[in-house]
């Protein structure tokens, strides 16, 4: 039932958050984070285009910033490339 619950949750939360999401500008509102940052981003993402991820990663001030690109994914690399996503998560945990 997890996929059904995931879709139901998205159908509930997306309309409720849409207006607020339109106002978010991370470049302006969150220029610095006090912890290491890893973006897992899909190259084919039309929700958060890869150009924006790359731009933000370039200017974000944090102890470390990296981007893991998922070349065959859109917005949900954890579902679109689950094996590689799991490998990335395990490797990040091993580093910490």
Does pTM top 0.85 for this prediction? no
Question: Cα–Cα distance between 38 and 76 in angstroms, integer?
Answer: 15
pLDDT digits (tens, 9 = 90+) for 26-79: 999 999 999 999 999 999 999 899 999 999 999 999 999 999 999 999 999 999
| Contact by Cβ (8 Å): 52, 42 | no
- In the block, tokens 């590689």 appear at 84
Q: How many CB atoms lie under 10 A from the CB of residue 61? A: 11
CA distance 34 to 5: 33
Q: Give me the residue label for tokens 């006090």.
A: 34
3-state secondary structure of 70: strand
């Amino acid at each position: 039932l997890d996929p059904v619950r995931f879709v139901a949750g998205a159908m509930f939360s997306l309309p409720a958050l849409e207006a607020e999401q339109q106002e978010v500008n991370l470049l302006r509102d969150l220029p610095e984070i006090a912890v290491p940052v890893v973006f897992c981003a899909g190259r084919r993402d039309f929700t958060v285009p890869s150009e924006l991820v790359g731009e933000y990663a370039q200017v974000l001030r944090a102890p470390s910033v990296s981007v893991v690109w998922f070349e065959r994914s859109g917005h949900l690399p954890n579902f679109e490339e689950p094996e590689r996503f799991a490998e990335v998560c395990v490797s990040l945990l091993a580093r910490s």
